[in-house]
Amino acid sequence: MTTHQRWVFAFWVYLGILLSIFISAYLRIMPTELAIFAHYDTIMHFLLLGIAAYLSHQALKKRKLQIFNIPLPLAPSIVFVFCIFDEIIQSFVPYRSADIMDFAADVLGIIVFTWLAEKFPKPTKQHE
Protein backbone atom coordinates (compact mmCIF):
# COMPACT_ATOMS: atom_id res chain seq x y z
CA MET A 1 0.00 0.00 0.00
CA THR A 2 1.45 3.36 -1.01
CA THR A 3 1.58 6.32 1.33
CA HIS A 4 -1.16 8.04 -0.64
CA GLN A 5 -3.41 5.00 -0.35
CA ARG A 6 -2.86 5.07 3.41
CA TRP A 7 -3.99 8.72 3.52
CA VAL A 8 -7.09 7.86 1.48
CA PHE A 9 -7.87 4.90 3.75
CA ALA A 10 -7.33 7.01 6.89
CA PHE A 11 -9.62 9.69 5.50
CA TRP A 12 -12.47 7.24 4.78
CA VAL A 13 -12.17 5.63 8.21
CA TYR A 14 -12.18 9.04 9.86
CA LEU A 15 -15.13 10.19 7.75
CA GLY A 16 -17.08 7.20 9.07
CA ILE A 17 -16.21 8.17 12.63
CA LEU A 18 -17.12 11.81 11.98
CA LEU A 19 -20.46 10.88 10.41
CA SER A 20 -21.31 8.64 13.36
CA ILE A 21 -20.62 11.55 15.74
CA PHE A 22 -22.69 13.87 13.53
CA ILE A 23 -25.63 11.45 13.45
CA SER A 24 -25.34 10.77 17.19
CA ALA A 25 -25.58 14.49 17.91
CA TYR A 26 -28.76 14.84 15.83
CA LEU A 27 -30.30 11.71 17.36
CA ARG A 28 -29.43 12.98 20.85
CA ILE A 29 -27.45 9.88 21.78
CA MET A 30 -24.12 11.57 22.49
CA PRO A 31 -22.47 10.52 25.75
CA THR A 32 -22.97 13.15 28.42
CA GLU A 33 -19.80 12.33 30.34
CA LEU A 34 -17.82 14.84 28.26
CA ALA A 35 -19.98 17.69 29.57
CA ILE A 36 -17.94 17.77 32.79
CA PHE A 37 -15.10 19.42 30.84
CA ALA A 38 -15.43 23.16 30.29
CA HIS A 39 -15.79 24.13 26.62
CA TYR A 40 -15.50 20.49 25.49
CA ASP A 41 -17.90 21.14 22.60
CA THR A 42 -15.81 23.98 21.17
CA ILE A 43 -12.58 22.02 21.62
CA MET A 44 -14.13 19.03 19.83
CA HIS A 45 -15.23 21.26 16.95
CA PHE A 46 -11.64 22.47 16.58
CA LEU A 47 -10.17 18.96 16.69
CA LEU A 48 -12.79 17.03 14.71
CA LEU A 49 -12.99 19.43 11.78
CA GLY A 50 -9.27 20.17 11.89
CA ILE A 51 -8.42 16.47 11.60
CA ALA A 52 -10.98 16.14 8.79
CA ALA A 53 -9.25 18.99 6.93
CA TYR A 54 -5.80 17.45 7.52
CA LEU A 55 -6.71 13.95 6.35
CA SER A 56 -8.78 15.11 3.37
CA HIS A 57 -6.01 17.48 2.26
CA GLN A 58 -3.51 14.62 2.37
CA ALA A 59 -5.93 12.22 0.64
CA LEU A 60 -6.47 14.66 -2.24
CA LYS A 61 -2.70 15.18 -2.55
CA LYS A 62 -2.96 18.79 -1.39
CA ARG A 63 -4.86 19.88 -4.50
CA LYS A 64 -5.56 23.57 -4.81
CA LEU A 65 -8.52 25.42 -6.29
CA GLN A 66 -7.88 28.80 -7.98
CA ILE A 67 -10.44 31.44 -7.00
CA PHE A 68 -9.70 34.99 -8.15
CA ASN A 69 -6.12 33.89 -8.74
CA ILE A 70 -5.83 32.77 -5.11
CA PRO A 71 -4.87 29.11 -4.54
CA LEU A 72 -7.20 27.60 -1.95
CA PRO A 73 -6.82 24.03 -0.69
CA LEU A 74 -9.66 22.01 -2.21
CA ALA A 75 -10.43 19.45 0.52
CA PRO A 76 -10.31 21.89 3.47
CA SER A 77 -12.59 24.21 1.45
CA ILE A 78 -15.12 21.37 1.19
CA VAL A 79 -14.85 20.79 4.95
CA PHE A 80 -15.46 24.53 5.45
CA VAL A 81 -18.64 24.43 3.33
CA PHE A 82 -19.80 21.42 5.37
CA CYS A 83 -19.32 23.48 8.56
CA ILE A 84 -21.47 26.29 7.19
CA PHE A 85 -24.28 23.87 6.31
CA ASP A 86 -24.05 22.16 9.69
CA GLU A 87 -24.39 25.43 11.61
CA ILE A 88 -27.34 26.48 9.42
CA ILE A 89 -29.07 23.12 9.98
CA GLN A 90 -28.44 23.39 13.73
CA SER A 91 -30.34 26.68 13.83
CA PHE A 92 -33.49 24.84 12.68
CA VAL A 93 -33.23 21.89 15.09
CA PRO A 94 -34.96 22.59 18.42
CA TYR A 95 -32.46 20.76 20.63
CA ARG A 96 -29.37 22.01 18.78
CA SER A 97 -28.06 25.55 18.57
CA ALA A 98 -26.02 27.36 15.97
CA ASP A 99 -23.11 28.90 17.83
CA ILE A 100 -20.63 31.40 16.43
CA MET A 101 -17.93 30.09 18.80
CA ASP A 102 -18.34 26.55 17.45
CA PHE A 103 -18.12 27.89 13.91
CA ALA A 104 -15.03 29.92 14.81
CA ALA A 105 -13.47 26.77 16.33
CA ASP A 106 -14.31 24.86 13.13
CA VAL A 107 -12.65 27.49 10.95
CA LEU A 108 -9.61 27.80 13.22
CA GLY A 109 -9.23 24.01 13.29
CA ILE A 110 -9.43 23.85 9.50
CA ILE A 111 -6.81 26.59 9.13
CA VAL A 112 -4.37 25.17 11.70
CA PHE A 113 -4.61 21.57 10.53
CA THR A 114 -4.40 22.56 6.83
CA TRP A 115 -1.24 24.48 7.66
CA LEU A 116 0.10 21.36 9.41
CA ALA A 117 -0.81 19.24 6.37
CA GLU A 118 1.10 21.66 4.14
CA LYS A 119 4.17 21.42 6.38
CA PHE A 120 4.12 17.72 7.36
CA PRO A 121 4.96 15.29 5.95
CA LYS A 122 7.26 16.82 3.38
CA PRO A 123 6.68 15.21 -0.01
CA THR A 124 9.46 12.87 -1.06
CA LYS A 125 9.71 10.07 -3.59
CA GLN A 126 8.72 7.62 -0.81
CA HIS A 127 5.51 9.58 -0.09
CA GLU A 128 4.14 9.30 -3.62
Count the alpha carbons within 13 Å of 40 in the hemisphere toward its beta carbon.
9
The closest alpha carbon to 43, from 116, 117, 109, belongs to 109
The closest alpha carbon to 30, from 15, 39, 20, 17, belongs to 20
- Whether the predicted model's global pTM rises above the 0.85 cut: yes
- What Å distances lie between residue 34 and 19, 44, 107, CA to CA? 18, 10, 22
pLDDT, one tens digit for every residue, the chain (128 residues):
899 999 999 999 999 999 999 999 888 888 777 778 888 889 999 999 999 999 999 999 999 999 999 999 999 999 999 999 999 998 998 888 888 999 999 999 999 999 999 998 765 555 45
Cβ burial of 97 (10 Å; 0-12, 13-18, 19+) is exposed
